[in-house]
Amino acid sequence: MKKIVSLILFVVGFVANAQNELPKLPTEVSPLLIGEKIPSATLKATDGATIDLLKMLTSKKTILVFYRGGWCPYCNMHLAALNDSEKELLSLGYQIIAVSPDAPKKLMATAEKDKINYTLLSDSNGSFSKAVGIAYQAPENYKSTITAGSEGVNTTFLPVPSVFIVDKEGTIQFEYISPDFKHRISNELLIVAAKSLK
């Protein structure tokens, strides 16, 4: 009987570890799909305040962006481009929320450097990126960078750069997932998608 119980515990533990293991490559992630709901999440704002993401999502339709961190030049270009289209997206009734593994202080530095007006949130422990299905194992050469960016919280993962358009019920209506971090959605395509869902 003890052997059977031990075997069951071993199998359950193995399955749990397999489910928690992050994909090794950005091309292996399994993001949530259009029609699925964004999971609940507690994130940190630039001032360190705790934010209930679902409460924010119910206030307005949302452009939800995941980026790698303020250390990534391609992410900074994308954040700046979003800044350029913010006025039009706001006029369409959207808010912009961008999430990264960076610690709140690092988010603040990014907001000041790139003159960002929209909301930046910290997911340093990766629980939200993992729940959305876009986290993968950070390559070894990124580990010191992501550790510094998250102030020691994140040593293991990177999010695949992604953009979701989410309605006020938290349902995904559009998504753009980019395993190649050098390629991001253009403002033109994002605005067309946002208008089509208005």
Average of per-residue pLDDT values in the chain: 90
CATH code of residue 86: 3.40.30.10
The pLDDT, as a whole number, for residue 12 is 39
Give residue 20's pLDDT: 58
Domain of residue 182 covers 2-196
The model's pLDDT over 68-126, given as tens digits with 9 standing for 90+, comes to 999 999 999 999 999 999 999 999 999 999 999 999 999 999 999 888 999 999 999 99
Q: Is residue 193 a contact partner of residue 172, using CB atoms and an 8 Å limit?
A: no
With the C-alpha atoms ordered 21, 26, 29, 35, is the resulting torsion angle positive or negative? Answer: positive
Band (pLDDT 50/70/90 cuts) for residue 198 is confident
The encoded tokens of residue 51 equal 């934010």
DSSP 65: E
pLDDT band at 9 (very low <50, low <70, confident <90, very high): very low
Range 142-177 burial, b when 16+ CB lie within 10 A, else e = beeebbebbeebbeebbbbbbbbbbbeebebbbbbb
Rounded distance, CA 158 to CA 69, Å? 9
Q: Which pLDDT band, with edges at 50, 70 and 90, does 1 fall under?
A: low
Q: How far apart are CA 58 and CA 131, in angstroms?
A: 19
Tokens read off for 88: 């039009």
- Tokens 């705790």 locate to 50
- For residues 122 and 111, is the Cβ–Cβ distance under 8 A? no
pTM for the whole structure: 0.88
67 close to 161: Cβ distance less than 8 angstroms = yes
Task: Give me the helix-helix angle, 73-91 and 104-114, nearest 10°.
Answer: 70
- Nearest CA to 80 out of 132, 54, 115 is that of 115
How many structural domains does the chain have? Answer: 1
3-state secondary structure of 105: helix
Count of CB atoms situated within 10 Å of the CB of 7? 10
pLDDT of residue 187: 94
